[in-house]
Amino acid sequence: MMTAPTLPEVEQLARQSGEILRAGYKNEHQIDYKGVIDLVTEIDHQSEEFLIRTIAEQYPGHSILAEESGATDGYDDHRWFIDPLDGTVNYAHGIPIFSVSIAYARAGQLILGVVYDPMRDECFSAELGKGALLNGSPIRVSEANDLQRSLLVTGFPYDMWDLPVNNLVYFGHFARCTQGVRRLGSAAIDLCYVACGRFDGYWELSLQPWDLAAGGLIAREAGARVTNIRGEEDFMASPPSILASTPGIHAAMKKEIDTLKNAQ
């Protein structure tokens, strides 16, 4: 029988990886380009190498899907989703908004999720059916139920220069019918900020599984309604997208997105 991790064990992994990010933060970075605006630094690689090595040692046979190195073969019934540095562009420019994101799924179902912000020492975590935590204390979504009075957050795909549907229209629309829309540059942090009530809703049209696995579980366990853009409960379904909000505005956000989509 294969060993499954506990939530404290995943939290420890995230904190250890976060130490790598914090230690390298003020250094001059070696920057490579995966795309025109898609960066990767040597710290991304160091953090990911640590996580993959440690998971392989402590949980042999588990499969891993990580941003930089892709898939590590193993049993798919035990799968990890890793973003070793979510917010690389921020990191490379010295903007202190980034995180480590780690999720564990068993038999295709997300069980554990941890997002650690090393600059604020904020560790968001959740276990399926047991609620969400921030540094060990329970968190809940806001009680917002009026879209016009809500504060939203979103992000843009790295290939937005080439995509005809690149979220700019949605951004402009929501900016005019809410209290405002923010763009922080870390999908994992965006989802966690919805989870703890700092934002009322978050949407993004194009993501990767490692971007949203941990944060999606944390937001859902904090009481958010979390679906993909199409309104389906499986937000990990391909192609991954996300619509996460307090339950009171989810339907309104979905209606606005559908209206804009149909108009294009």
Average pLDDT, the chain: 91
Name the helix (H) or strand (E) containing 137.
strand 137-139
User: What is the 3-state secondary structure of 37-87?
Assistant: CCEEEHHHHHHHHHHHHHHHHHCCCEEEEECCCEEECCEEEEEEEEEEEEC
- End-to-end Cα distance, the chain: 51
Instruction: Please report the pLDDT score of residue 37 as a whole number.
Output: 45
Based on the number of CB atoms within 10 Å of its own CB, is 75 exposed (0-12), middle (13-18) or buried (19 or more)?
exposed
Residue tagged 């554990």 (tokens): 112
Q: Across residues 169-178, what is the average pLDDT?
A: 94
Using CA of residue 249, residue 97, residue 17, residue 39, what is the dihedral sign? Answer: positive
Confidence band of 36 (pLDDT split at 50, 70, 90)? very low
The number of residues making up the chain comes to: 264
Q: What is the CATH number of domain 147-263?
A: 3.40.190.80
Instruction: Please report the pLDDT score of residue 120 as a whole number.
Output: 98
Domain ranges of the chain: 7-138, 147-263
Based on the number of CB atoms within 10 Å of its own CB, is 122 exposed (0-12), middle (13-18) or buried (19 or more)?
middle
Instruction: Please report the pLDDT score of residue 238 as a whole number.
Output: 84
Q: Which of 155, 120, 145, 154 is nearest to 134 (CA)?
A: 120
Dump pLDDT digits (tens) for 87-136. Answer: 998 998 999 999 999 999 999 999 999 999 999 999 999 999 999 999 99
More confident residue, 167 or 161: 167
Name the helix (H) or strand (E) containing 211.
helix 209-221
Structure tokens at 127: 């276990």
Residue 242 contacts residue 202 (beta carbons within 8 Å)? yes
Q: Across residues 45-51, what is the average pLDDT?
A: 92
pLDDT at 29 over 80: no
Confidence band of 230 (pLDDT split at 50, 70, 90)? very high
pLDDT at 8 over 90: yes
How far apart, in whole angstroms, are the C-alpha atoms of residue 136 and residue 145? Answer: 27
CA distance readout (Å), 94 to 32, 48, 224: 16, 20, 31
Residue 37 contacts residue 158 (beta carbons within 8 Å)? yes
pLDDT at 10 over 60: yes
Confidence band of 70 (pLDDT split at 50, 70, 90)? confident
Q: Percentage of residues in the chain with pLDDT exceeding 70?
A: 91
Cross-strand bridge partners of residue 110: 105
Instruction: Please report the pLDDT score of residue 162 as a whole number.
Output: 58
How far apart, in whole angstroms, are the C-alpha atoms of residue 117 and residue 121? Answer: 6
pLDDT at 203 over 80: yes
Q: Across residues 167-175, what is the average pLDDT?
A: 92
More confident residue, 88 or 246: 246
Helix then strand count (H, E) for the chain reads 7, 15
Dump pLDDT digits (tens) for 152-166. Answer: 999 987 655 455 567
Dump pLDDT digits (tens) for 72-86. Answer: 889 889 999 999 999
CATH 3.30.540.10 applies to domain 7-138? yes
Instruction: Please report the pLDDT score of residue 32 as a whole number.
Output: 56
β 70-72/62-66 pair status: antiparallel
How far apart, in whole angstroms, are the C-alpha atoms of residue 31 and residue 60? Answer: 32
